[in-house]
Chain A
């Protein structure tokens, strides 16, 4: 299945194309809630179309960082997305949470159509597009089911389809499958990587699982808590597509240990 009418570059990218171009650029970005420092002096850039993991223990400000980029919370410092300073929510940035946040009175299809409903009228084309996204996330045949009738994993798939429906080129995912069992999480992670490659979006993926971060991401922003700080950025140079056997290689475990050390040194 191809998603051809998505807003985005018309020419498929050749490897290394505009990857060097920054999608998210942060300079001395910080956030205070009253006297509590949630994030201190984070400086980093995320190249276009990269899959970036934001890794750290709870309380390190990963979710806050995502909300700053989404423009839901005002920030200190300089923060640009696609060359534009962040000043509020914007249509090219989409958000997905640990909980499905589906509206229980809307069917799966109606939930996926929510971004369209909020932006204006729903056309037949939008409905067709929503159906396509639902089958892309493996929910063909469940379009008319209500959230209460779906399992946790299926609800999260619906939530992912809704994120795709926004047409956003920057996808912010806050531990999207964290509440699911490990088998479902692993499968959905792989599907997410496949979708990320297919729609050519830039993806930021918050997680507290080191192996997951190394396996999925092109680079990892490692964060440490109290106050939330960026401890460093770890590059993950493995080719894609990546198979599960990658996790057995010493190159993989080396990176896992590097990340663990980086976390340990700062803790």
Chain B
């Protein structure tokens, strides 16, 4: 078979093999209950200071207040916009440059060292400069998120597009395929699993970029909120925002995972089974539709 076979192994949330899902969910929820229980106990007995570890119930109350005030949603909206725009911008840029590099070797040779230089420079360090260049709105945060997203998508796309199976390429050439056909029918679909691994890394990095951008300078956003609560030593509210960020991170990652499952269906047995069954059923229906009028005319 062709292309990269990076698949479930790149998934951080891969379920443990060999257990049924109710048992798995049970264990996972059980672990959460134990951790929260220990946390409540530690806070209750005063093993740790409330500043460091506020009781779970206080965190919940802060969360509820932030939610009902509408404060959380306002800031959440801003941060999500920065994450989304930064992710789209950075990924699209990384993807397009990788495609150009895969099709045109001199270009790849020229840009590659610069891309690596960009990657090894801590992007967080350019955050203060971004505000000199771009001012104080959402835009510098979007740009920061985009520069961080850029590299994993670029490098994965370039890798995926350049590791085309040699025999498959020979097959395409022997069939008289054009360069365009070889790209769209062989290289690009073959690269999809690797590209998605890059996109999944990028979406988490976009969140980091947006939050760091807000730390440096912001009027709104969850990063600002968490910073403000920390300065106020309001640790239960800071925890509430932090857990909100975890939830957002999980949701974004889950969304990418879902799109991945939908696009790269050929690496998932259950998706394949469904597709082949549907195609067979469609074929049977088409056959029946052709056969029926004949039968009538026979009589």
Binding site for B on A (CB under 8 A): 67, 70-72, 89-91, 93-95, 97, 99-105, 107, 114-115, 117-119, 143-149, 166
Contacts and interface: CB of A to CB of B under 8 A. Distances in A.
Given A101-B165, A101-B168, A147 B176 contact: no
A165 B32 CA distance: 57
**From B2, B175, B272, residue with most partner A Cβ within 10 Å:** B175
Interface residues of B, number: 31
B185 interface: yes
B269 interface: yes
Contact of B174 (A72, A100, A102): A72
A67 to B, nearest CB: 7
Contact of A149 (B165, B177, B190, B273): B273
A46 B278 CA distance: 46
B178 to A, nearest CB: 8
B16 interface: no
A91 B173 CA distance: 11
B276 A144 contact: yes
Given A100-B1, A114-B185, 17 more contacts: A89-B176, A93-B174, A97-B171, A101-B2, A101-B167, A104-B1, A104-B2, A104-B3, A104-B266, A105-B189, A107-B275, A117-B185, A118-B185, A119-B175, A143-B283, A144-B277, A146-B266
B272 A146 contact: yes
Interface SS, A side: loop
A118 B272 contact: no
A99 B169 CA distance: 13
B163 to A, nearest CB: 15
B34 interface: no
9 closest residue pairs by CB, A with B: A144-B279, A104-B266, A144-B280, A144-B276, A105-B266, A95-B174, A89-B174, A118-B175, A97-B167
Query: Which of A71, A94, A119, A145 has the most chain B CB within a 10 Å cutoff?
Result: A145
B175 A147 contact: no
Contacts, number: 84
Contacts of B65: none
Interface in B259-290: 265-267, 269, 272-273, 275-277, 279-280, 283
B186 interface: yes
Contacts of A144: 276-277, 279-280, 283
A205 B193 CA distance: 35
Given A67-B170, A101-B167, A146 B275 contact: yes
B189 A103 contact: yes
B174 A70 contact: yes
Interface of B: 1-3, 165, 167-168, 170-177, 181, 185-186, 189-190, 265-267, 269, 272-273, 275-277, 279-280, 283
Contacts of B176: 89-91, 118-119
A105 B279 contact: no
A90 B176 CA distance: 7
A93 to B, nearest CB: 7
Most buried by A among B171, B181, B189, B280: B171
A99 B170 CA distance: 12
Contacts of A95: 170-171, 174
Contacts of A147: 1
Nearest to A102: B1
B279 A166 contact: no
Given A105-B265, A146-B266, A72 B170 contact: yes
B1 A72 contact: no
A148 B279 contact: no
B1 A118 contact: no
A146 B167 contact: no
Nearest to B2: A103
A118 B211 CA distance: 48
A95 B167 CA distance: 10
9 contacts: A70-B174, A93-B174, A100-B1, A101-B165, A103-B190, A105-B266, A118-B175, A143-B280, A148-B272
Contacts of A143: 280, 283
Contact of B186 (A67, A100, A103, A146): A103
A107 B276 contact: yes
Contacts of B1: 100-104, 147-148
Contacts of A117: 185
Contacts of B170: 67, 70, 72, 95, 97
Contacts of A145: 276
B173 A72 contact: yes
Contacts of B190: 103
A119 B185 CA distance: 13
